[in-house]
Structure formats: C-alpha cells, structure tokens
C-alpha cells in the first residue's frame, strides 16, 4: 500500500507514549497499535483530528504517500 503511517516517529519527537495517547483520544491501545503499524484499512477523520490536536501536527506528519507501491496507480498505466 502506498500510504505509510509515521505515527511512531511523531510520538518519539513529541515524547508521547502510545498508551497515554490512546487514553487521551479514547481509543483502545490495540487499535492504536494497529494504526501505528499500518495494519488498518482506514482511519476516521475524527480520530485523525484528535491525533493532530494532541500531537500538534498536520495529517501529513502522520501519513505519507509513497507512489508506485501497488499496481493500478497512474504511473503504472501506459497510454492506450
């Protein structure tokens, strides 16, 4: 998947423990762990907003896009 989760880096930069973050944004530690490892198919905007508010960051600080990681992306398609 071309979307990478860089939440661990932001947590380390801010000196925030995942356990504390999970409690403050009202999600389970297990769900936060799945998000941190990129093993989720989506994230609610409400959760993303809470993460950004508590970590004082932008969504792009937590999620990055790396092109070319999956078939069917525009760069993989050749003209007609």
Q: What is the pLDDT of residues 17-67, one digit of tens each?
A: 999 999 999 999 999 999 999 999 999 999 999 999 999 999 999 999 988
Exposed, middle or buried by CB within 10 Å (0-12, 13-18, 19+), for 52? middle
Residue 67, in any domain of the structure: no
- Model pTM score: 0.79
pLDDT given at position 67: 87
Rounded Cα gap, residues 26 and 54, in angstroms: 12
Residue 65, in any domain of the structure: no
Domain that holds residue 53: 3-57
For residue 46, what is the domain's CATH number? 1.10.260.40
Phi then psi for residue 43, to 5 deg, are -140, 135
Residue 39 DSSP symbol: -
Residue 30, in any domain of the structure: yes
pLDDT given at position 77: 53
- The domain tally of the chain equals 1
Residue 74, in any domain of the structure: no
Residue 47, in any domain of the structure: yes
């Amino acid at each position: 998947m071309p979307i990478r989760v860089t939440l661990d880096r932001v947590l380390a930069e801010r000196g925030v423990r995942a356990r504390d973050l999970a409690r403050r944004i009202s999600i389970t530690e297990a769900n936060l762990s799945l998000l941190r490892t990129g093993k989720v198919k989506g994230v609610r905007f409400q959760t993303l907003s809470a993460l950004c508010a508590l970590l004082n960051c932008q969504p792009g600080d937590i999620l990055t896009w790396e092109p070319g990681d999956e078939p069917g992306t525009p760069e993989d398609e050749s003209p007609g």
